Chains A and B, each alone.
Chain A
């Protein structure tokens, strides 16, 4: 990402260049329509240095003369700004649709947990405030967050995806929620014998799971009772 040599008079669009850069595979393309609506940028000008220039750069209308150092700073600001806009964009209907397509393609990778059977994951931030934590991968099957597998993703700010995105996606596309009725649990064993504490813990956790199932059943009954 540091070898930026893209000039503004380059034939490629800035966004295309940005999305094609290594490590930016998780980002989707933001519509021009969304970008040109100033309402969507509320508050970002105080967050990003050289906001206007960075915005121009993203929109491919950057026509200022400046020295290399400033230019590089503007580049950096543009990437930061794109990320922050991205976090807002993917919560819109069109953004969710685009991320949904990427999710279906498996662009975000799969869950490292063996018992999730390579279930696809989604990027998630731990904070909506930039520069607080890198992006994590969320698996809906085990409902847990994992560090991204490759080092190049570990530098991406989690705020570029936001804390709410995966959950909004599952609200919007409930059919994506995997079936969790028959979950598996790994219990370590020595020579085939389960280790005592782990076996106890697994049983305790199973009790908790059954309690949850009972609660869910009672909610359902309640719901049905109200309908009738």
Chain B
């Protein structure tokens, strides 16, 4: 691992010749297009050239380079069978082992470039105890043997490393690279599906209720019913919500607009549907199919179906019913608004009853989206 680390540093030096990279704010809003990792690397190096704390950082760099070289020599003796080029993938890093722990299925692997850029870690040193040691642990830097050992026992550092990684993770998710990684995980349904029956197994997204660590555990946000649920697994229920942050889910859905929103159609389609001729079309179609949609209790169309070109979120849809493209959309639209009806021996319970429906509004959607004035 460390021999590749030294390669990384030499690569950084090469990058110094490039002009200044993009600013952080652009990548954080995911507006930048592609190549985020390279940008950060350049940006980081550029910062070393210009900023005041440059000297310290350079010293650190030198130390780390030396350390890496020492390690490299040791490793070459011990593990000579590793080829220097591919060793990274063969040796398990702290990050990959952390992400493979049971209960950590929601975590994406933050790229080392992102963590190595000090700018991305601004302010975290005051939030995490034993910040430096924890950071070294995350990046698999071996502690300096010459330095007098003032470290507490390993579990404490391990704990801070997890916290630090979580907080870095929350920031990383808001970058383009993070969103892309999470999109892959979303497609593979690593976060699970919505427990609500009428959401028909819509994949969900992890979300925090607070951006400060230690407040609440991670929750799952369903884009279809726009509600939050607790994860099923015991282990997942112990993960801090701040490690995903409050903004990620919203930003993800704003970035990947083809994922069906709370209206059962991609947000792009919502805009299209508000155009007058399309609205009429939808209205007539939905009036035709509304009767059928109300009676289809079981086996309805799960997601907004094959009409969307992109595979995102629709990729696992296997139960597409055989129907024309037009009816598929309208059916799925009306299905999305399906509300669970309480009935007793087949009769709907009246609103006037004490045990009558009181929460229908929670799942209700306007028939015509333009009613909302979006």
> Chain A interface (Cβ within 8 Å of chain B)?
112-115, 126-127, 132-133, 136, 138, 141-147, 149-150, 163-164, 166-168, 170-171, 174, 177, 180, 183, 185-192, 195-198, 200-201, 204-206, 208-209, 212, 215-216, 219
Residue of B nearest to A133 (CB): B298
B251: Cβ under 8 A from any A Cβ: yes
| Other-chain contact of B359, A171, A183, A195 (Cβ < 8 Å) | A183
| Other-chain contact of B357, A143, A164, A171, A200 (Cβ < 8 Å) | A143
The 7 sampled A-B contact pairs (Cβ below 8 Å) are A113-B228, A113-B230, A142-B359, A149-B195, A164-B343, A185-B362, A200-B373
Which residues of the partner chain A approach B358 to less than 8 Å between Cβ atoms? 143, 180, 212
Residue of A nearest to B221 (CB): A188
Which residues of the partner chain B approach A133 to less than 8 Å between Cβ atoms? 297-298
Q: How far is the CA of A168 from the CA of B372 in the complex (A)?
A: 37
Q: How far is the CA of A199 from the CA of B77 in the complex (A)?
A: 62
Stretch at the interface among B54-62, B110-118, B325-333, B346-354: B346-354
Residue of B nearest to A197 (CB): B374
Beta-carbon contact of A189 and B246 below 8 Å: yes
Contact A205:B364 (CB < 8 A) given known A112-B232, A186-B228, A197-B261: yes
B152: Cβ under 8 A from any A Cβ: no
In the complex, how many angstroms separate the beta carbon of B342 from the nearest chain A beta carbon? 5
Beta-carbon contact of A143 and B221 below 8 Å: no
B11: Cβ under 8 A from any A Cβ: no
Q: Is the interface of B mostly helix, strand, loop or mixed?
A: loop
Which residues of the partner chain B approach A201 to less than 8 Å between Cβ atoms? 226, 262-263, 365, 372
Beta-carbon contact of A126 and B298 below 8 Å: yes
Beta-carbon contact of A115 and B372 below 8 Å: no
B91: Cβ under 8 A from any A Cβ: no
Contact A190:B355 (CB < 8 A) given known A114-B219, A200-B374, A204-B366: no
In the complex, how many angstroms separate the beta carbon of B269 from the nearest chain A beta carbon? 12
Contact A183:B362 (CB < 8 A) given known A136-B197, A201-B262: yes
Beta-carbon contact of A149 and B232 below 8 Å: yes
Which residues of the partner chain B approach A146 to less than 8 Å between Cβ atoms? 195-197
In the complex, how many angstroms separate the beta carbon of A221 from the nearest chain B beta carbon? 12
| Other-chain contact of A188, B226, B351, B352 (Cβ < 8 Å) | B226
Within 8 A of A (CB), among B46-102: none
B104: Cβ under 8 A from any A Cβ: no
Which residues of the partner chain A approach B195 to less than 8 Å between Cβ atoms? 112, 146-147, 149
Within 8 A of A (CB), among B175-233: 195-198, 207, 209, 219, 221, 226-230, 232
